Amino acid sequence: MAAPVKILVLSTSHRGASKSEYVALRCQEVLQELGAEVNLVTLKDHEFPPLVVDTIAESVAYKALHPLVSEADGLILTSPVYNWSLSGALKEFIEHVGSTDNNLRAALFDKVVTFAVVGGLPHGYMAFGPTALSLMLDFRCVINPYQVFVYDKCWDDGSLTSETENQLRKSMSVMLEMTALLKGRSYSSNWSV
């Protein structure tokens, strides 16, 4: 019997009662229902120092997060939309955890990635695009085309509407299938042009 797929769900909001953190929790619950082994991490519990590549591996946040990302088969990256982009905390996470070891192997390489993004307006749905492109080009990540995008009209009295819940379930189902299929891939990537 194959080992379960390991998914890391990352909540990048630093707000107390965050809508994107709620979405992260729903992603975790749905993935667990589907049989994945899921770890939920919220970045408000981790403080990154200023990025100094020579000493980044010594930071408490790096030591806590790098192994979790390395061991995961896939990542769910949840973020609020700010100024038509994803949170600075997510970018900071990528910069720190994306730092490489002596073998030019970063924890983010070859991960299957799904974005679960929360914005105020419907046309913020492409806010994940530049980050997705960076992850594809820098770390050879495989991006799930079934992202989760939640905006103001996707909420019903503090919960997701049934249509949005269905979108989230489909996205998590596709994520699990893609990750399971790619888990046994024959290649691994490192820095190259």
Range name among 40-54, 110-124, 158-172 with the lowest pLDDT average: 40-54
Res 172: pLDDT: 98
Please check the confidence at residue 59 and state whether its pLDDT lies above 80.
yes
Range name among 29-33, 154-158, 166-170 with the lowest pLDDT average: 154-158
Residue 96 CB partners (closer than 8 Å, separation 6+): 48, 51, 56, 59, 61, 62, 65
What share of the chain in percent tops pLDDT 90?
65
142 or 61: whose pLDDT is higher? 142
Segments making up each domain of the chain, as ranges: 6-183
Res 9: pLDDT: 98
Let me know if 154 is exposed, middle or buried by CB neighbors in 10 A (0-12, 13-18, 19+). buried
CA distance 143 to 52: 28
Please check the confidence at residue 119 and state whether its pLDDT lies above 60.
yes
Coil/strand/helix, residue 81:
strand
For the record, the structure tokens of 5 come out as 């797929």
pTM over 0.85: yes
Res 3: pLDDT: 81
Confidence of residue 123 (pLDDT cuts 50, 70, 90): confident
Confidence of residue 191 (pLDDT cuts 50, 70, 90): confident
Averaged over 85-102, what is the pLDDT? 85
Please check the confidence at residue 104 and state whether its pLDDT lies above 90.
no
- Superfamily name and number for 6-183: Flavodoxin domain (3.40.50.360)
Looking at every residue in the chain, the average pLDDT score rounds to: 90
* Alpha helices in 60-144, H assignment, sequence order: 60-71, 88-97, 129-139
Task: Judge contact between 6 and 71, C-beta under 8 A.
Answer: yes
